[in-house]
Amino acid sequence: MREQILSIIEKSSRIEVKELAVILGVEEIDIANELKAMEEEGIICGYHTMIDWEKTSIEKVTALIEVRITPQRGQGFDRIAERIYKYSEVNSVYLISGGYDLLVTLEGKSLKDVSSFVSDRLSTLDGVLSTATHFILKKYKDHGTILTKKYEDTREKVTP
């Protein structure tokens, strides 16, 4: 049941417990218990809203930053990752296999905002060898949702 609950709320976190119970054919109390348990176990870490900021008048810039670092004895990459993720501007930090070590996504008000964060804060951290910053120009699809097109029902209205 967990997998089913998660796959539904991953897409629509606002769904009510009552409705979840109806569409999964189980009791409300069971859903409520599972949700609570998964929150406590840290499986469910939050209920976010997907926003296409592009469509608002609020200026926002998102960047993906590749960071190469020197792992530290006894702590590997974790200590530097922690120093980075503590900044509130930082959206996500992933440890990556391949040509670099950390992938950091960052949100700022402007290009200048982001670049000064990178040059002043990130690249000056002990252990950071280099950074490469990529600015996002357009989001086509995010979290499995296509942002550039709306679903349109093009079927004939009545068919046998």
Partner 1 sequence: MRNPLSDIITEIKPSGIRKFFDIVSEMEDAISLGVGEPDFDTPWHIRDEGIYSLEKGRTFYTSNAGLKELKVEIANYLYRTQKISYDAGKEVIVTVGGSEAIDIALRAMVNPGEEVLIPQPSYVSYEPCAILAGGVPVIIELKEENEFRLTAQELRDAITDKTKILILPFPNNPTGAIMEKEDLEAIAEVIREKDIFVLSDEIYAELTYKGKHVSIASLPGMQERTVLINGFSKAYAMTGWRLGYACAPERIMEQMLKIHQFAIMCAPTTSQYAAVEALRNGDEDVVMMREAYNQRRRFLMHSFQEIGLKCFEPYGAFYVFPCIKEFGMTSDEFANRLLQEEKVAVVPGTAFGDCGEGFLRISYAYSLENLKIALDKINAFITRLRNQK
- Supply the Cα-derived Rg of the chain in whole angstroms: 21
Residues 114-153 that bind partner 1 (CB under 8 A): 153
C-alpha 133/C-alpha 126 separation (Å) is 18
For partner 1 (CB under 8 A), the number of binding residues is 14
Phi, psi of 91 (to 5 degrees): -85, -45
Site string for partner 1, 20-59 (x = CB under 8 A): --xxxx----------------------------------
Contacts of 81 (CB under 8 A, 6+ apart): 93, 95, 102
* Closer Cβ to partner 1, 40 or 156, answer by number: 156
Closest approach of Cβ 15 to partner 1, in Å?
9
Q: Which two tokens stand for residue 53?
A: 């900021």
Closest approach of Cβ 160 to partner 1, in Å?
5
C-alpha 80/C-alpha 82 separation (Å) is 5
How many CB atoms lie under 10 A from the CB of residue 4? 13
Closest approach of Cβ 49 to partner 1, in Å?
17
* Closer Cβ to partner 1, 137 or 151, answer by number: 151
Q: Which residues bind partner 1 (CB under 8 A)?
A: 4, 8, 19, 22-25, 153, 155-160
